Amino acid sequence: MLAYETKARKNGYSIIAGVDEAGRGPLAGPVVAAAVIFSQEVTIKGLTDSKKLSKKQREKFYPIIIDKAESHGIGIVDSTVIDRINILQATKKAMLQAVRRLNNSPDFLLIDGNQTIDWEGKQQVVVKGDNLSLSIAAASVLAKITRDKIMEQLARYYPQYGFENHKGYGSKSHMEALAKHGPCPIHRITFRGVVEQTENHKTSTSNMAKDFGKQLTLVQSVINSSYK
């Protein structure tokens, strides 16, 4: 889990940040990214891809990561921007935000996946990096927990959809709620599965837009209170 970080240090880099995201696939809510910098000496036994960890395990690792990280940053791009620029570009935007919110400016990025971001420094993409790099794995946990908490908060505004359970993914219960109620302001109205219901319910994008400020304010409050 330290091979990529070790190689980067041998190549002369000293401030290495792992970057990952959560929430590319859901039909609702933001995409969230995290960036984490560890010192050379840090190890966290058992830490791996957040998708392979239970909720209890992720919550156990979260404070350990925060405590051991030299710096961490969170980036969030909401559904309105996702619909405007597409999910790939929104993910890159969230990753760039996360990197720029680090206290220490990194000189090397390890990015999960196969897409670089618009960062002026050196970067390396690592396919399945959350299984191969400690700093990327740590970023995956921070991103996942942060996004889950946001969706749990948003569920209070839109209780009919059950966001606290499926976190916006296309579960059976979510699809049934979409069919019954139509999309709400945090749905990604350009996504397959949502766009059809927008048409079926004749949902007005302009009317939905009136409530976008509530979404943005709530998301920001969650970040400011618990996930700085």
**For the chain, domain boundaries:** 3-147, 154-222
Supply the pLDDT for residue 228. Answer: 44
pTM, entire model: 0.90
DSSP-derived pairing of the beta strands 71-77 and 122-126: unpaired
**44-91 pLDDT per residue, tens:** 999 998 989 999 999 999 999 999 999 999 999 989 899 999 999 999
Share of the chain above pLDDT 90, in %: 75
Supply the pLDDT for residue 220. Answer: 61
Contacts of 95 (CB under 8 A, 6+ apart): 19, 21, 33, 35, 75, 111, 117
Supply the pLDDT for residue 185. Answer: 85
Residue 228 identity (one-letter amino acid)? K
Share of the chain above pLDDT 70, in %: 87
pLDDT classification of 212: cutoffs 50, 70, 90 = low
Residue 12 identity (one-letter amino acid)? G
pLDDT classification of 214: cutoffs 50, 70, 90 = low
**Using CA atoms, how far apart are residues 212 and 146, in angstroms rounded to an integer?**
20
pLDDT classification of 225: cutoffs 50, 70, 90 = low
Q: For domain 3-147, give the fold.
A: Nucleotidyltransferase; domain 5 (3.30.420)
* CA dihedral over 104, 5, 119, 64, signed as positive or negative: negative
- Whether residue 108 contacts residue 17, with contact meaning beta carbons closer than 8 Å, is answered with yes
**Using CA atoms, how far apart are residues 74 and 102, in angstroms rounded to an integer?**
8
